[in-house]
Amino acid sequence: MAVLRKVLAWVSVPVICMLALVLYLARPFNPDNNRLLGLVVARTGRFFLGMDRPLEGGENIPRDRPTVVIANHQQNDDLFIMADLLPPRTVTVGKVSLVWTPFFGQVFWLGGNIILNRGDQQKAVAAMRATTDAIRRENKSIWVFPEGTRSRGRGLGKFKKGAFHTAIAAGAPITMVCAAPYKGESRGLMGRRKAVPVRVLPPIETAGMSSSDVPELMARCREQMAEAIDGLA
């Protein structure tokens, strides 16, 4: 039953994206499309998985100003756990290969998300500069997994600096979203997925900081997130 639940949850993603193409084509590159899609995808996925997602600190997500959201990245199922927590006008960062994923890739591109070619450092730097400009001029927020790869529930990995440089350059606060460690365990005859609690920490302001503050800021954020994640385990 647990396998069937997971299959249904993931089959729902391209179906929802295919239907969402109508909205994305009607107002292309409107970043608020991403928030609406994330809400539907996450809640539909949790419904099929039979999973609860207790949330603490949801009021800490800024709704009236841009922010850089950083979250711990464990598995692909993070989509069902956190995608409905996007602030208004949020874009995210993804690999160029995502664009070729049927339906999901098309809505990802039409959502105005930042597409990085990690094999081309020059283009990646240009994309992050464009992200800073989007925060400043277009009032957009950005969602980043600072670990850069999935931890598969094995603890918080090492952070990359990009999100912190972007936040400081834009003068935007950093909002930390912390999901409890999980490995997709199910329980009972119905195969319901074990609940994954999430805690949102109060934003850290970056106004007045410079690039020299990145190491300290990155260490502080990682320490706070690690403590929160340990408390949720």
CA distance 161 to 169: 12
Q: Where are the alpha helices (DSSP H) in the chain?
A: 2-26, 32-49, 78-82, 104-110, 121-138, 162-170, 214-232
**Other CB atoms closer than 10 Å to residue 7's CB: what's the count?**
11
Q: For position 118, what pLDDT does the model report?
A: 56
Exposed e or buried b per residue across 156-169, where buried means at least 16 C-beta atoms within 10 angstroms of its C-beta = bbebeebbbbbbbb
Domains assigned to the chain: 2-232 (3.40.1130)
Here the tokens at position 43 are 């809640």
Here the tokens at position 38 are 């994330």
**Other CB atoms closer than 10 Å to residue 128's CB: what's the count?**
20
Q: For position 132, what pLDDT does the model report?
A: 80
Q: For position 119, what pLDDT does the model report?
A: 57
Three-state SS for 208?
Answer: coil
Q: For position 116, what pLDDT does the model report?
A: 72
DSSP 169: H
pTM of the model: 0.90
CA distance 13 to 8: 9
Q: For position 123, what pLDDT does the model report?
A: 59
Q: For position 225, what pLDDT does the model report?
A: 96
With a cut of 50, list the residues of the chain below it in pLDDT.
none
